[in-house]
Amino acid sequence: MVVTGYGVVSPFGVGWETTWSNLIQGTSAIREISGMDVSGLPVRIGGQIVDFDPEEWLPASLVRRTTRPAHLALVAAVLALKDAGLEVDAALAPAVGVTVGSACGASSVLVDAGAAFAARGFMALSPYTFTSTGVVTVASEVALHVGAQGPSACITTACATGATCVGEAMRLIRRGEADVVLAGGADDALTPFDLAAAARARALSRRNDDPGAASRPFDTGRDGFVMSAGSGVLVLESEEHAAARGARVYGEVAGYGASTDAYNLTSPHPEGTAVERAVRLALKDAGVTPDEVGYVNAHGTGTRMNDTAEIKVIRRVFGERATSMPVSSTKSMTGHMLGAAGAVEAMVALEAVRTGIAPPTVNCDDPEDPEMNFVAHRAQEHTADVAVSNSFGFGGHNAVLVLRRPRDVSP
């Protein structure tokens, strides 16, 4: 399966080029949260999306009746189709699928609607409350807006959602159920309620005095992840369909592996046994060996248990090469975009092999494993044909993608 389009809205701004440019420059998108009252919370930082007006991309009527996560997903889908040079017309529509998920959904709408209902009763609720708060909203709105009539689903696997949606899109195309699939995820959980809930779970960094240094994957000084908003949608096509229309190809989604820890609701298995199985399944699915992998985009959240377990898995799977090949976490710069993370990071991994540039892990001042190449602080030039992108989520969800540079195209 080939990738022909990228669509991203991230804390860096709208569009893939803006996000990629900032990532390879080692720029942090984490800042103090503005525009809402978080003064009473222990966490007051995050990766906010600012200066984003969905009406620049979408009809005003659509924006009014949909939620913030849907806005992000819709704009990313529009951007991805534009980037792919693809129009979903009546002839193509039955062969176009959608797998776009969200880890949190429209939680802010539920909170506000619940408060309004408690204060003013039935008539305080919008007629769109019921339809806009369902978990399927992001996928259904994307399908409705672009006219996709093939299989569609909102797949939710917590923080692995974006990667799961890309992997399942690949499977849809392999099975011949679609020629084209829009795949990815979207979330905006930067609300007082969501920040408070995540802080109560002791998942978030509390480095409020230095936002740019708060997300510290693989660094011994890490104290939790940084929550961010974002969306990422990729256009996946069968090779035959892409070739028939002369599409520009970024690369291939070559393999996908999934597993479940079945260990703890919030903590990963300390040895990462199920994660290792997902990595090996993805490699087997792609028909590549560990020795062929030249870059790993790590899940790397900056939480103590996750990073330690992921290091163990990388060392077991890749052996001696684990200490030489680049392994980086771009969450050190974007923060954790939750359901969008795996999709955006699939693009990052693909661009790393396509361009020969491995983006850095910033804030990795004192690495937990000093022998490994975490691409600390600055991007590195590195030629590779195959990359792995890891995504893990609460509930023990694991999704691993293998991305490959176009075999007949040089970066």
Residue numbers annotated as active site: 159, 299, 336
Q: What are phi and psi of 244, to 5 degrees?
A: -65, -30
Cα 246 to Cα 46: distance, rounded to the nearest angstrom: 41
* The pair of three-digit structure tokens given for residue 190, joined into one six-digit string: 């930067």
CA 288 to chain centroid, in Å, comes to: 24
Tokens of 380: 């590195």
Torsional sign, CA 112, 115, 117, 121: negative
- CA distances to 26, 134, 165, 369 from 399, in Å: 26, 24, 9, 24
Other Cβ atoms closer than 10 A to 283: 22
Cβ(227)–Cβ(204) under 8 Å?
yes
CB 133 within 8 A of CB 106: yes
Between helices 137-146 and 68-84, what is the axis angle to 10°? Answer: 40
DSSP state of 219: B
Rounded alpha-carbon distances, angstroms, from residue 367 to 217, 220, 300, 372, 376: 9, 6, 12, 8, 9
